[in-house]
Chain A
């Protein structure tokens, strides 16, 4: 079981969200108090799911929900298979051989033997542990598949392999309607969220921001364009470099490409090499592969940026967008996936479809600091209302309640 910090309490969140938000959580919590909510995913560090669970679990516990978090075990081969599965669910043709599928099943079997399924409701995150559903009948409790990725247009052979597992769940949760697909089980929408008090998002002293920029050779006195994301082709880091090169013709700016690696992302190293090659010897491009636990540095890099890119070609939800908006930064982002819920075009940032479009919007923003400020203020408000952790805590408790009343659209509670 993963041990989570309990150093931050609901009262700390109240300072950010306002009292009414916390009061609302307590009202809902009264209806699910004492229940054991067991989360299961594939990694304790790295990636958005682990980040959120780190804080979500202790908050649920403070509200009286007995939330726990377990991580499945797998070797490198298993995580390479599930990475290929992840890409295939995003639509990329990936040939999963019978031997690979056998290894997936064998790893699942091994985890089934080792894990203790103690939850009153069991929340399985993403495809890696999805086949654990084999234990559902034995447990006799509701199982929920919390899918953080877009499975709307998957590579069919891989979905055909996964679907028989998924259809055994009592419900599925997707981050947005576009990610779902017709299934025989109830599907709920719960957008992911950011933690405003985490090292990645909390307020920082200006001196800290400047120190981090200088540490990485970034000049705080000149415009900084930044993309924070894993080194993943779907995040289009090469497109960001192409956009930067266009902007650079008019503005004396710098580019930061920073991101961490997760243990379940073996493809990252290859992409990092491609990025370094494209950056060449340009001293104004800073490629920063950051180790785990670099959240404070990422926070400082974003706060020290003038504009933040998230030029994804395909995206799960793209929480780095909300992280930048929360810091009052205008965001230029690919019009894909969950980004479309976060970047309200022209209000919190700009949606683009090409490196040229990204460059044109960046030049517009660099020429108009007032516009930068307005978009940043709107962005922070938008995140406060929709994408903070407290909203996700509320939605998860509502899903627990929904499982009690599967047939009703309107549920009266006392």
Chain B
């Protein structure tokens, strides 16, 4: 998203994603670690975020593929817990996130963990990444009041793009909504949205929380 001037409307975008396969897979924590050091940032983002867009019959405890695989396939519960507890909101770049994941795995190996654990055949960890196609939705908000009216109607994919993907994968300083509101002189609303944690709620719940920020500030 370009830097915004004070009068620029907000253009809601959405994305279509294609999963790209790397052909690389791991059977142990050391193998996972070795590939993680070299794999693209797009792959790290994919494996820590794609489950937020999936339908779940039960709300998952873990949205992080690394944690899920280490727990399920390797039965390394302590490492799985630590990986699942990584605070994604604490990072502003994939590089930082990757380093945090690597540090946990290194510590686990240094402590003698994962020496002999190998996943069963067929349960290997396959590294993927997504190729994203960003498109305008045609929905445009002219001002903050219009924004809060229209944000209720956007899809979860659009919300995911502006809130999660924009901040971490595209390395913008904040989510797109807060960035735009701040440019419109609405620092209070921008900060309030910035404080929302998208990683502990569903996208539907996040949308409701954003709408609530508007209500609290009397703009919708």
Q: Which chain B residues border A378 with CB–CB below 8 Å?
A: 57
Contacts A398-B133, A413-B134 hold; do A178 and B18 have CB atoms under 8 A apart?
Answer: no
Interface string of A316-336 (1 = CB under 8 A from B): 000000000000000000011
Q: Which chain A residues border B24 with CB–CB below 8 Å?
A: 182
Q: Nearest CB to that of B136 among chain A residues?
A: A414
B126 at interface (Cβ–Cβ under 8 A)? yes
Question: Which A354-413 residues have a C-beta within 8 angstroms of B?
Answer: 378, 381-382, 385, 394-395, 398-399, 401-402, 405, 408-413
B16 at interface (Cβ–Cβ under 8 A)? yes
The interface size bin for chain B is: 20 to 34
Contacts A28-B16, A177-B128, A398-B16 hold; do A411 and B134 have CB atoms under 8 A apart?
Answer: yes
Q: Which of B22, B130, B133, B135 has the most CB of A within 10 A?
A: B133
Contact B135 A413 (CB under 8 A): yes
Q: What is the number of residues of chain A that contact chain B, defined by CB distance less than 8 Å?
A: 39
Contact B132 A409 (CB under 8 A): yes
Q: Which chain B residues border A216 with CB–CB below 8 Å?
A: none
Contact residue among B40, B55, B122, B155 (Cβ-Cβ distance under 8 Å from A178): B122
Least distance between B46 CB and chain A CB atoms (Å): 10
B131 at interface (Cβ–Cβ under 8 A)? yes
Contact A186 B57 (CB under 8 A): no
Beyond A27-B135, A186-B20, 20 additional contacts (C-beta under 8 Å) are A20-B155, A24-B16, A28-B133, A174-B21, A177-B126, A177-B128, A187-B20, A188-B21, A188-B131, A189-B20, A381-B55, A398-B18, A398-B131, A398-B133, A401-B133, A402-B18, A402-B20, A408-B131, A409-B131, A411-B133
11 A-B pairs within 8 Å (CB atoms) are namely A24-B16, A180-B126, A187-B22, A188-B18, A401-B133, A402-B18, A409-B129, A409-B132, A410-B170, A411-B132, A411-B134
Chain A residues at the B interface, C-beta cutoff of 8 Å = 20, 24, 27-28, 174, 177-178, 180-183, 186-190, 335-336, 344, 347-348, 378, 381-382, 385, 394-395, 398-399, 401-402, 405, 408-414
